[in-house]
């Protein structure tokens, strides 16, 4: 299998995930702006999750750009990542429906942590295929963002039961860290 087919499949799954998330936001029954107020938590959870899915789509694109061949390990680790990403709409809907309550917020963090771990596994498998001297390995040699993200996700999960604001802030900070484009791969491949 070539990587183009893998990319196309992954892109399709991510597009469906985003579609499912927006379908959770229902049209208000009233005609006043005040009727939008109950949708605020759902909209905020959608925006945060949309950003996360976008971040994974972007990084997945660059990771596969550096991949020269696809094997079974890549296919299964990619499916593992897509599995965790496909759970984002459920957790997004739950936190939006229940105003960022403790259990839904912790569940959201668990899903985000699962996505992060799955991405790290995929990245390691790709790097193993390409070798430690590859351009991709040079681009990803230090993964500070990945490490700090995992720590913040764990803090977010634990703090969900004590302070939902801290938990939410952890998830937002991780999204903001990754929202700033990671130029390592772009820099290496543009040379």
Average pLDDT over residues 11-31: 91
Asked if pLDDT for residue 80 goes beyond 80, the answer is yes
* Residue partners of 42: CB distance under 8 A and separation at least 6: 24, 25, 93, 96, 97
Q: Are the C-beta atoms of residues 34 and 85 closer than 8 Å to each other?
A: no
Q: What is the pLDDT of residues 83-123, one digit of tens each?
A: 999 999 999 999 999 999 999 999 999 999 999 999 999 99
Q: What is the pTM of this model?
A: 0.91
* pLDDT over 70 (residue 184): no
Angle between helices 40-65 and 72-86 (to 10 degrees): 170
């Amino acid at each position: 299998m070539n990587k183009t087919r893998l990319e196309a499949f992954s892109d399709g799954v991510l597009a469906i995930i985003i579609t499912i998330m927006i379908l959770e936001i229902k049209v208000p029954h009233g005609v006043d702006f005040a009727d939008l107020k109950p949708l605020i938590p759902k909209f905020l959870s959608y925006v945060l999750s949309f950003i996360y899915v976008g971040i994974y789509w972007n990084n997945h694109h660059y990771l596969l750009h550096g991949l020269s061949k696809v094997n079974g390990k890549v296919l299964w680790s990619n499916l593992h990542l897509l599995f965790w990403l496909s759970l984002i709409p459920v957790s997004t809907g739950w936190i939006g429906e229940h105003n960022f309550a403790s259990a839904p917020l912790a569940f959201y963090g668990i899903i985000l942590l699962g996505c992060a771990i799955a991405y790290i596994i995929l990245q390691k498998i790709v790097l193993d295929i390409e070798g430690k001297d590859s351009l991709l390995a040079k681009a990803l040699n230090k993964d500070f963002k990945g490490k700090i993200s995992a720590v913040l996700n764990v803090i977010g999960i634990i703090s969900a039961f004590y302070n939902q604001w801290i938990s939410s802030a952890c998830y937002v900070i991780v999204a903001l860290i990754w929202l700033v484009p990671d130029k390592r791969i772009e820099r290496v491949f543009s040379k």
